[in-house]
Amino acid sequence: MRVVVTGAAGQLGKDVLRELASRNHHAFGADRGQLDITIEEDVRSYISEIKPDVILHCAAYTNVDAAETDEETAYRINASGTENLAKAAKQVGAKLLYVSTDYVFDGTASEPYETDQPTSPLGAYGRTKLAGEQLLQKHLDRFFIVRTAWVFGIYGNNFVKTMIRLGKERGEVGVVHDQVGSPTYTVDLAKFMVELMETEKYGIYHATNGGVCSWYEFAVEIFKQAGLDVTVNPLTTDQFPRPAKRPAYSVLSKKKIEEQGLTPLRDWKEALAAYLQESQ
């Protein structure tokens, strides 16, 4: 298949390109330098020139806190950019897979969120990603929306790298314990995305690694697996204020992956071990 990957230089995009290569797909990596997704004309001409079978849309404005003061830019990239790609995909008859987020939910649930549960974002980032979902669905019938969470991989800045760096520098860290979710290793997410795009099983999916933890528990496990002796102090969200409000509970139900006969992502602790091995 001919596959365009947006956000190709990003943490997820790079692993998606690797996975496509390993499955013998013809990949076209488009980063901001090759394609500005906010310019409709550019998107149309790029997509009509390549005529991909699939667009894997990994490009996003992901700075959750900065989005609070610059929602306009976040909207332009996450919502308008996605709409531009959806229109272009329709023109050439391509499937479109859009990577979305657990932040479309408000975190007040106590059981994993199903794909069809009502959305209610707390902040600008979640609002703009949800707008992207809605605009995509306005234009396309053949689409995949993959909501994910707590992403980490060797190519980007992420929680695992930050913890290891701070742990080595300080020997002691404070981490919130009252926000619960599921970490996601980009290698595993990329595998799922490529498997999904090869099917006709359209719709909304939730894809994270298996298992549930708080950020505090995640940090404790990181230091344990990395063999670092670091004191981890549990903090409340109130003790660690940020510009953007985070969902307290953002566990996503992966039921649909199993129902559709697709391969579930492994447990997050196994994924963390694989990441630490890969990053050595």
Give pLDDT tens digits for 185-225. 999 999 999 999 999 999 999 999 999 999 999 999 999 99
d(CA 4, CA 35): 11
For residue 280, pLDDT over 90 is answered with no
Q: Which of 125, 205, 216, 275 is catalytic?
A: 125
For residue 134, pLDDT over 90 is answered with yes
What average pLDDT does the structure give for the chain? 97
| Mean pLDDT calculated for residue range 236-265 | 95
Give pLDDT tens digits for 98-130. 999 999 999 999 999 999 999 999 999 999 999
For residue 252, pLDDT over 90 is answered with yes
Over pLDDT 90: what percentage of the chain?
97
d(CA 186, CA 209): 10
The DSSP element (H or E) to which 234 belongs, if any, is strand 231-235
Active site residue 155: no
Residue 79: name the closest of 8, 137, 31 by CA.
137
Question: What is 2-158+182-210+250-266's CATH topology?
Answer: Rossmann fold (3.40.50)
Over pLDDT 70: what percentage of the chain?
100
For residue 82, pLDDT over 90 is answered with yes
pLDDT of residue 240: 85
Where does the pLDDT of residue 241 fall: very low under 50, low under 70, confident under 90, or very high at 90 and above?
confident
Contacts of 164 (CB under 8 A, 6+ apart): 222, 226, 228
Where does the pLDDT of residue 17 fall: very low under 50, low under 70, confident under 90, or very high at 90 and above?
very high
183: exposed, middle or buried (Cβ count in 10 Å: 0-12, 13-18, 19+)? buried
d(CA 258, CA 83): 29
What is the DSSP pairing of strand 143-148 with strand 95-101?
Answer: parallel
Give pLDDT tens digits for 35-58. 999 999 999 999 999 999 999 999
What is the number of other CB atoms lying within 10 angstroms of the CB of residue 135? 21
